[in-house]
Structure 1
Amino acid sequence: MKSLCFNSRTSSSSISRQSMSPSSSSLTSTPPRRSIDAAAAIIMKWDAQTSAYAGVTSLFYESKREAMQFIKSVNDLQEIMHSLVSHQGSDPENLTQAQHLMQIAMKRLQKEFYQILSMNRADLDPESVSTRSSQTSRRASTSDNDDDGSPDDEIRTIGNSISEVEEVSSMAMSDLKLIADCMIASGYAKECIQIYKTNRKSIIDEAIYKLGIEKLNSSQVNKMEWDVLDWKIKNWLQAEKVSMRTLFSGERILCDHVFASSDSIKESCFAEISKEGVALLFEFPELVAKTKKSPAEKMFRVLDMYTAISEDWQEIETIFAFQSDSSVRLQALSLLVRLSESVLSLLTDFESRIQKDSSKAMIPGGGLHRLTMYSMNYLTLLADYGNILTDIISDWPPPARSSLPESFFESPHSEDSPAPAISVRIAWLILVLLCKLDGKSKHYKDVSLSYLFLANNIQHVLSRVRTSNLTYILGEEWIAKHEAKVRQFAANYERLAWGKVFDSLPENPTAPMTHGEARECFRKFNISFEDACFKQSSSVVPDPKLRNEIKVSIGTKLVAVYREFHDTHKSTVEDESGARLFVRFSPEDVGNCVSELFFVRINSESSSTSSTSSHHRRHMRSPLRV
């Protein structure tokens, strides 16, 4: 029975006739009339034109044993017809009768084929088929020695190890294959294929619709508000995953199984069923890539779509491996190119936005600039796509240096080990940012604040680098060089902002002094210290680590020296009238003043800056939530 029902044939136009020869045919010893009558008994029983019972009952559902007998009778009848045609002088009446029976049988099988597809629509959904296939593949590795078993044994083994739903799916697929093999061998491939394509294409089209994939054009996408388009992109990302890992893969498995007897049929059939759905699926990302909308979030959505296609590339090549599917593979490849071009364009736009930032307002207290926070939020998120970006920008020409001073160029890697393209590109974008910040620092009239501004903003850059994937992209050498810059700018700030205070105290604070010398020294200290405290009271250092380092440095040079000077020479001026005019600060007063420096005040501008940072952070992270 297994050899009869599961015999593989190539196509309806190339049926093997070896078994029809007198030496090989199992029917040569049986008179054609008797064999035809035997086939007619079961074929006419299931003729819907002559039997009301056959008109309302499914052969394969009612009796699987009788269905097998029906298939065997059709195959026997086909062999008889070939035998009659090949032997001259055969009775034409027998051939006519056999042809008539074959037409009735094919109508019955067409009906059965349609009913199995329709009645098992839920059990033959791509998810059930793909799940069943993966489990069958795992079982096959443990049952390679059972190939000689009967079909009944095979069915019982499967039934014991899979769920009821999967068993129904498995039985339906087996029945469809039996019918398809029989119809193709009998020359009725066209009728079988048409039924299959009509039914299965409707399932693919319905699934694509339920996944939210709709036909759009460039005009419609360009007119969408970003929030709407963003929602559609997130929906597409889910739809793509389901389509490639379940929908099209399951459909390919089913098609391959049903039409296993003919490579050409299963190839053309699957291509016809899937081409419209997959074309619609891949059309949307291309429209997004072409859209004129370029908010910052678009970069991450484009990268998400590129990532989705890249991660499923193996599935795409496996599912659409036929020559007739080459257009699908080409469309997917073209889509990756289009998305990568969009990424490069958006990177160029980001660099341009930094360079064109025209805000001249000075950040009070030398705090963080909005451009710094925005840019580092952006770059931090980009670093999460490091592997994908490496592929995209590997062949992108390095940035031109003409627009920036040569002194700013420092490679994040040594000359002996050239930096990857992504490291060069990210380092370049940060360099563009730092050059822009350097220009903005010149707007401060107080030079010390310009250095504090640079120290704060570079420290923020470093902080974001250390706590993100940027640290792996830029490397420890790059980080060390910029840490040195922060220390240099902080030292310059300290020297300019507190230098007069340091200079007002003697090099040797315990050296003997006259009353006049001590009084003059106290006076100079009071003036310079008050002036410095007043000017620096509004200065801010948002980063706790940097704030502590600067305060410790100032305190080490100021508080300890002043304490020694104060304790040594206070008594020198106390005897004079108005001594409090000269000794106005105790060492504790100086220490308290230093300890209270640089905290971020919750006032209009700093609050606005903090609020803006929080807004950008939420705004920039939203594209990653799929």
Structure 2
Amino acid sequence: MPRKGMRTVFFSSSKDSSPSPSLSSRPSTPLHSLSETMIAENLQVAESVITKWDPNSSTCAKVTSLFYESRTEAMEFLKSVKDLQRSMYCLLSHHSSSHLLVRAQTLMQIAIKRLEKEFFQILSANRDHLDPESISGRSSLSTASSTSDHDDGSEDDLQLTTDSISEVEQASTVAMSDLRSIAECMISSGYGSECVRIYKVVRKSIVDEGLYRLGIEQLSSSQIHKMDWEVLELKIKNWLNAIRVAVKTLFSGERILCDYVFSTSQSIRESCFSEICREGAIHLFGFAESVAKSKRSSEKMFRFLDLYDAISNLWPEIETIFFFESTAAVRSQALSSLIRLGDAVRAMLSDFESAIQKDPARSSVPGGGLHPLTRYVMNYLSLLADYSGSLSDIIANGPAPVQSPLPESYYSSPSWVDNQSSAISVRLVWIILVVLCKLDGKAELYKDVSLSYLFLANNLQYVVSKVRTSNLRYLLGEDWISNHEAMVKQYAASYERMGWNNVFSALPENPGAVASKEEAKEHFKRFSSAFEEAYRKQSSWVVTDGRLRDEIKLSIAKKLVPAYRELYDRYRIALSDEKNVHGVVRFAPDDLGNYLSDLFYGTGASGSTSSSSSSRSRGWRSQ
């Protein structure tokens, strides 16, 4: 029989946080004062405890759990093993030729075999109590840690601990305490490798099973690259749901358990945790890098940002949990995924800007309404603004984009320059400017200048509205919004001036001035023709924003209706005896407001001015 106990009695590691067993196990009584007789007595006491639980001594001892049957006996068993180890140290130092050394070695092997069995049984029987979720959810390990220092085998400390925590935590606390006690005993006795081997096998199966239940699949980069986007997006969503649980619960819980059970040895803690979790963690974070290398398009950017956000937000936990040098590959993989995702996002943002610039110039919309390019880009940017934190990091960490400097008007406010001009703010402002320049080119496609201005007002109003109602407002600032709202008003004013100038000029400068009947008839004829032409031309035009639509119509009505009403009231009686008065005076003042209210819905001239001539004449006669 190999004399393993003597060979490994000095088992220790230079990285261990506690002194070597050979030193920590020395008895308080001087070694030279312990006679061989006294050692024999100690061995006899240990033998009575250890042989009772020899798995080969009886069927009962083989199938029964020592720690389950009697914790008092379990603590006594551990104490006997430690006393046995001290006796073996004395024999090696002063009585190396004694026959007692062989007897002690035989007892040690029986004891270690029992402890191996107990260690495995506790790990296996308490899979539910030692699951990462239960462990990581503990409010603190400090209370449980207090049970680790009971070398005398007392249960009083454990009872005080379990009384102070919830019933749910008690089972895991007891199991963790027992595992720690066994691990300390086996390590100090020189049998740490046997303990570690059992721990790694059982716990790695639990971690691997946990990743499987979270839906983390073993997918190669080539498999990911060949997937249709719809399928890959489902994989990404599942990964996003799993990553937080994997890091904060699965890996964190395993790290806590490892640190606790093997608290006496840093090297063992590191070895166990690394072998149990490293492979699964590398594969977990490697998925994000594989996705980042897949075929990209602007539509996929948000999923890439979700992946970036998930890893970035968990980075403090990743650094803490995988702190060991042996788990540096996990940190490296997570960082590599962030870098790859950042590169992909920057490339997609450049592709997005390039697509805007390549939008065909000869594409307009009927009625000067909202262009699809405006809607698409602003919806896209408003969603991007929700990722402003990650985007700022990504853009700031990448090379500066090749683009023309922004106009000085964009920096008119010192506060915008000081507070708002972050990397992401400048980039988004630039993209919006590119869109507005494209819209300027599209406005030139309209033959009617007033319709061009209406088109610009519509689209700029949509841009401003999306900025104000999304997180873009925090990136672009109130000054940017105010400046562009003023531009909307300028476009609307230009539309009004160009589109209604002929109608305004058809009214006399002084509608209340005295004029002959023929002059009055001429005024009404000119006005009616100009109004009908303007209405007919603009009946299919569109103002998409309700508030802007009302503001434009109200502004036109304020300029038009009062002046026309004054003309109307001044000559109503004088022209009342005309046979064809409804052909001369085709509108009552209130009619103008009704016609204006029908405008800018893009419905066409469904209610033409001539269709209501009879009702207008009746209104004229009755007034």
TM-score, reference length from structure 2 = 0.89
Residues 172-193 of structure 1, C-alpha deviations (whole Å, 9 max, x = no match)? 1111111111111111111111
In structure 2, what is the equivalent of residue 417 of structure 1?
Answer: 418
Corresponding letter in the other structure for 1:75? K
Post-superposition shift, 1:584? 1.2
Corresponding letter in the other structure for 1:456? N
1:167 to 138, 153, 170: 170
Which of 388-397 and 578-587 deviates more?
Answer: 388-397
Rounded to whole Å, the distance in 2 between the matches of 1:472 and 1:215 is: 41
Corresponding letter in the other structure for 1:430? I
In structure 2, what is the equivalent of residue 16 of structure 1?
Answer: 22
TM-score, reference length from structure 1 = 0.88
In structure 2, what is the equivalent of residue 107 of structure 1?
Answer: 113
Q: 1:157 aligned to 2:160?
A: yes
> Structure 1's 583 and 408: CA in aligned 2 closer, same or farther, altered over 3 A?
farther
> Structure 1's 304 and 72: CA in aligned 2 closer, same or farther, altered over 3 A?
same
Post-superposition shift, 1:422? 1.5
8 Å CA contact 1:368, 1:453 repeated in 2? yes
In structure 2, what is the equivalent of residue 334 of structure 1?
Answer: 336
Rounded to whole Å, the distance in 1 between the matches of 2:345 and 2:70 is: 60
Corresponding letter in the other structure for 1:44? T
Post-superposition shift, 1:577? 4.4
8 Å CA contact 2:119, 2:179 repeated in 1? yes
Corresponding letter in the other structure for 1:201? K
- Counterparts of 1:355-370 in structure 2 under 5 Å? 355-358=357-360, 360-370=362-372
Q: 1:246 aligned to 2:246?
A: no
8 Å CA contact 1:455, 1:487 repeated in 2? yes
8 Å CA contact 1:408, 1:431 repeated in 2? no
In structure 2, what is the equivalent of residue 510 of structure 1?
Answer: 512
Q: 1:47 aligned to 2:48?
A: no
5+ residue gaps, structure 1: 1-7, 604-626
SS at match of 1:20: coil
CA RMSD of aligned residues (A): 2.8
Corresponding letter in the other structure for 2:22? S
- Counterparts of 1:277-296 in structure 2 under 5 Å? 277-296=280-299
1:377 to 370, 376, 379: 379
Rounded to whole Å, the distance in 1 between the matches of 2:68 and 2:17 is: 27
Rounded to whole Å, the distance in 1 between the matches of 2:16 and 2:558 is: 91
Corresponding letter in the other structure for 1:582? V
Rounded to whole Å, the distance in 2 between the matches of 1:240 and 1:28 is: 59
Residues 212-237 of structure 1, C-alpha deviations (whole Å, 9 max, x = no match)? 11121233223322222221111111
SS at match of 1:507: coil
In structure 2, what is the equivalent of residue 182 of structure 1?
Answer: 185
In structure 2, what is the equivalent of residue 72 of structure 1?
Answer: 79
In structure 1, what is the equivalent of residue 223 of structure 2?
Answer: 220
1:562 to 561, 564, 572: 564
In structure 2, what is the equivalent of residue 431 of structure 1?
Answer: 433
Residues 591-619 of structure 1, C-alpha deviations (whole Å, 9 max, x = no match)? 2111221125499xxxxxxxxxxxxxxxx
Rounded to whole Å, the distance in 1 between the matches of 2:217 and 2:499 is: 64
Post-superposition shift, 1:13? 9.8
> Structure 1's 561 and 96: CA in aligned 2 closer, same or farther, altered over 3 A?
same
1:198 to 198, 201, 205: 201
2:270 to 267, 270, 284: 267
Corresponding letter in the other structure for 1:506? P
In structure 2, what is the equivalent of residue 615 of structure 1?
Answer: none
Q: 1:210 aligned to 2:216?
A: no
Rounded to whole Å, the distance in 2 between the matches of 1:299 and 1:572 is: 71
Rounded to whole Å, the distance in 2 between the matches of 1:69 and 1:11 is: 26
Post-superposition shift, 1:40? 1.2
1:585 to 570, 584, 587: 587
In structure 2, what is the equivalent of residue 56 of structure 1?
Answer: 63
Rounded to whole Å, the distance in 2 between the matches of 1:438 and 1:24 is: 97
Corresponding letter in the other structure for 1:266? R
> Structure 1's 546 and 388: CA in aligned 2 closer, same or farther, altered over 3 A?
same
SS at match of 2:99: helix
In structure 2, what is the equivalent of residue 86 of structure 1?
Answer: 93
8 Å CA contact 1:11, 1:184 repeated in 2? no
In structure 2, what is the equivalent of residue 620 of structure 1?
Answer: none
Corresponding letter in the other structure for 2:107? L
8 Å CA contact 2:298, 2:351 repeated in 1? no
Rounded to whole Å, the distance in 2 between the matches of 1:490 and 1:427 is: 23
SS at match of 2:195: helix
Instruction: Give the count of matched residue pairs.
Output: 588
> Structure 1's 118 and 231: CA in aligned 2 closer, same or farther, altered over 3 A?
same
In structure 1, what is the equivalent of residue 608 of structure 2?
Answer: none
Rounded to whole Å, the distance in 1 between the matches of 2:383 and 2:28 is: 76
Post-superposition shift, 1:17? 2.6
Q: 1:230 aligned to 2:237?
A: no
> Structure 1's 583 and 312: CA in aligned 2 closer, same or farther, altered over 3 A?
same
SS at match of 1:17: helix
8 Å CA contact 2:75, 2:153 repeated in 1? no
SS at match of 2:110: helix
Corresponding letter in the other structure for 2:118? E
SS at match of 2:109: helix
5+ residue gaps, structure 2: 1-12, 606-623
1:302 to 295, 301, 304: 304
Rounded to whole Å, the distance in 2 between the matches of 1:436 and 1:98 is: 91
Which of 588-597 and 27-36 deviates more?
Answer: 27-36
Q: Greater RCO between the two (CA within 8 Å, min separation 6)?
A: 1
Post-superposition shift, 1:464? 1.1
Post-superposition shift, 1:27? 8.7
8 Å CA contact 1:362, 1:443 repeated in 2? yes
Post-superposition shift, 1:199? 0.7
Rounded to whole Å, the distance in 1 between the matches of 2:295 and 2:383 is: 22
Corresponding letter in the other structure for 1:96? V
Which of 438-447 and 68-77 deviates more?
Answer: 438-447
SS at match of 2:287: helix
8 Å CA contact 1:412, 1:424 repeated in 2? no
Post-superposition shift, 1:267? 0.8
> Structure 1's 602 and 523: CA in aligned 2 closer, same or farther, altered over 3 A?
closer
Rounded to whole Å, the distance in 2 between the matches of 1:602 and 1:381 is: 35
Corresponding letter in the other structure for 1:95? L
Rounded to whole Å, the distance in 2 between the matches of 1:195 and 1:62 is: 22
Corresponding letter in the other structure for 1:217? S
Post-superposition shift, 1:315? 1.0
Residues 470-500 of structure 1, C-alpha deviations (whole Å, 9 max, x = no match)? 1111111101111111111111111111110
Q: 1:131 aligned to 2:137?
A: yes
Post-superposition shift, 1:590? 1.2
In structure 2, what is the equivalent of residue 500 of structure 1?
Answer: 502
Corresponding letter in the other structure for 1:417? D
> Structure 1's 27 and 444: CA in aligned 2 closer, same or farther, altered over 3 A?
farther
Which of 22-31 and 195-204 deviates more?
Answer: 22-31
> Structure 1's 508 and 12: CA in aligned 2 closer, same or farther, altered over 3 A?
closer
8 Å CA contact 1:12, 1:189 repeated in 2? no
Corresponding letter in the other structure for 1:61? Y
Corresponding letter in the other structure for 1:64? R
8 Å CA contact 1:127, 1:250 repeated in 2? yes
> Structure 1's 212 and 357: CA in aligned 2 closer, same or farther, altered over 3 A?
same
In structure 2, what is the equivalent of residue 546 of structure 1?
Answer: 548
Rounded to whole Å, the distance in 2 between the matches of 1:37 and 1:566 is: 127
Post-superposition shift, 1:538? 0.8
8 Å CA contact 1:222, 1:293 repeated in 2? no
Corresponding letter in the other structure for 1:381? L
Residues 400-453 of structure 1, C-alpha deviations (whole Å, 9 max, x = no match)? 444x9x769624853862611121111111111111111111111222111111
| Matched-pair identity in % | 56
In structure 2, what is the equivalent of residue 468 of structure 1?
Answer: 470
Post-superposition shift, 1:12? 10
Residues 63-93 of structure 1, C-alpha deviations (whole Å, 9 max, x = no match)? 1111111111111111111101111x55521
Rounded to whole Å, the distance in 1 between the matches of 2:389 and 2:545 is: 30
Rounded to whole Å, the distance in 1 between the matches of 2:106 and 2:82 is: 14
Rounded to whole Å, the distance in 1 between the matches of 2:583 and 2:107 is: 126
Rounded to whole Å, the distance in 1 between the matches of 2:507 and 2:437 is: 37
Post-superposition shift, 1:572? 4.0
